[in-house]
Amino acid sequence: MEIRYNEKLKKLPPYLFIEIDRKKKEAIKCGADIISLGVGDPDLPTPDHIIKSMQESVTKPANHQYPFGAGLLSYRKAIAEWYKKRFKADLSPDEICALIGSKEGIGHIHLGFINPGDVVLIPEPGYPVYNTGTIFTDGVPYFMPLFEKNSFLPDLDAIPLDILKKAKLIFINYPNNPTAATAPEKFYLKLIEFAKKNNIIVAADAAYSEVYYDENEKPLSFLEIPGAKEVGVEFHSLSKTYNMTGWRIGWVCGNRDVVAGIAKVKDNYDSGVFQAIQEAAVTALTSSQKCVEDARKIYKERRDTLVEGLQKLDWEVNLPKASFYVWAKVPKGYTSSQTVSKLLEEAAIICTPGNGMGKSGEGYVRFALTVNVPRIKEAVERIGKIRW
Ligand SMILES: Cc1ncc(COP(=O)(O)O)c(C=O)c1O
């Protein structure tokens, strides 16, 4: 029998990070001592107190049944409290929905709001899932380039009128993957005005909000800005904050009707997040946040080691203020792909080609700070030996 795939599945490019992982495994099989700065998956373990909480929760029979609904009230209350402490934003539990990782909500929001032909405004380079959901719902992606000259913010004024008329959803992501940029209040104010004027739902992806380097410059939440809740929602994740990528837990919060739309999609697709994981997430959010501070210190040392190392080798690269990515210009005369190949073949280093995350990423590579300082030093040493 010939297996005939959905045409939309055929339209999707290979999932970039699965490709990178495949290349890494292939090189390791051939005996290479690979330094992997490719996929943004923390190498640090989940803190012990969260694991212990999960161990207790997993034994409770009440947690063995379908979770259903928007998530445990205790989880949604813990999120609201965490939000209030971290940001200047008030949320009630019915403005929050638990997610099986923020990727799940980011990929499914389209099902609640996008009809065939509706335009989705997507930053590029960017996280590929914004476009995946668009393709699956027969929406039309309109890519907003993120240029260094614009501080890696989309130029909302440059979007043509005919596109705006058909646009229903806009994704933004700060701290940004892959450029590591953060967004100022001024940008969010403009975005909210833009969303109101054009009747476009804002989907702000804040997966990296807690990975920052300066206590005086903490990334903002979109929901801190007056008027935000009228126009959109924010996606959050415990993945990067508490080293819980494998656990699959996050949430969406903000506009009640948008949250309800996502929850309705989820009611019909999955049956919620394993309650034991939600309880462990309550522990994560309500306990001391020292583990998060400790992780920030670790990333900071790694960031400084890599950026200073690359700068000494004459690479053009800025010190990121947030996220655990370093967005570096490639050496003159090389494309992103050529640089990635050379780094793999001559230095056994894996990184992400900028253009793999959108065409405006051409000319850059992304390094993830997910290995320890000695390995980063080793990576810099190896890069220094390459003849460009
Ligand atoms: C920008 C961005 N948003 C969302 C996610 C999804 O994270 P998770 O599904 O683990 O919450 C990622 C993961 O890498 C990401 O880079």
Per residue in 339-377, pLDDT tens?
A: 998 999 899 999 999 999 999 999 999 999 999 999 999
pLDDT band at residue 220 using 50, 70 and 90 as cut-offs: very high
Instruction: Report the pLDDT value the prediction gives residue 154, as an integer from 0 to 100.
Output: 98
Cβ distance 70 to 96 under 8 Å? yes
Banded model confidence at residue 312, pLDDT cuts 50, 70, 90: very high
Measured distance CA(129)–CA(177) in Å, rounded: 12
Percent of the chain with pLDDT over 70: 100
Cα separations in angstroms, 170 against 124, 160, 183, 199, 331: 12, 14, 15, 10, 33
Test site for ligand 1: of 46, 99, 100, 103, most ligand atoms within 8 A of the Cβ: 103
What are 212's strand-pairing partners? 322
> Would the CB of 102 count as within 6 Å of ligand 1?
yes
* 253 within a domain of the structure (yes/no): yes
224 in the same domain as 210: yes
Average pLDDT taken over every residue of the chain: 95
pTM: 0.96
Q: Which of 3-12, 35-44, 378-387 has the highest mean pLDDT?
A: 378-387
| pLDDT tens sequence across 31-84 | 889 999 998 899 999 999 999 999 999 999 999 999 988 999 999 999 999 999
| Residue 10 confidence (pLDDT) | 85
> Residue 21 pLDDT > 80, yes or no?
no
Band (pLDDT 50/70/90 cuts) for residue 30 is confident
In a domain, 2, yes or no: no
The answer to whether residues 114 and 140 touch, using CB atoms and an 8 Å cutoff, is no
Q: Both tokens of residue 166? A: 């058909």
Whole-number Å distance between alpha carbons of 224 and 232: 12
Is 80 exceeded by the pLDDT of residue 20?
A: no
In eight-state DSSP terms, residue 156 is: G
pLDDT surpassing 80 at residue 18: no
Domain boundary among 287, 304, 325: 287
Residue 206 within any structural domain of the chain: yes
Domain region containing 113? 49-287
353: exposed, middle or buried (Cβ count in 10 Å: 0-12, 13-18, 19+): buried
The percent of residues above 90 in pLDDT, for the chain, comes to 90
Q: Is 40 near ligand 1, meaning CB less than 6 Å away?
A: yes
Instruction: Give me the phi and psi of 254, to 5 degrees please.
Output: 130, -130
Same domain, 202 and 63: yes
Domain boundary (234, 263, 287) is at 287
Ligand 1 centre from 31 Cα, in Å?
A: 31
Position 207 in a domain: yes
Q: Where does residue 214 rank: exposed (0-12), middle (13-18), buried (19+ CB within 10 A)?
A: exposed
* CATH number, position 155: 3.40.640.10
Instruction: Say yes or no: 304 and 221 in one domain.
Output: no
- Residue 177: CB within 6 Å of ligand 1? yes
Spacing, Cα 121 to ligand 1 middle (Å):
18
DSSP 8-state symbol, 31: T
End of a domain among 224, 252, 287?
287
How many structural domains comprise the chain?
2
Question: In the sheet that 96-99 helps form, which strands lie side by side, from edge to edge?
Answer: 96-99, 250-254, 232-237, 201-205, 167-173, 119-124, 140-145
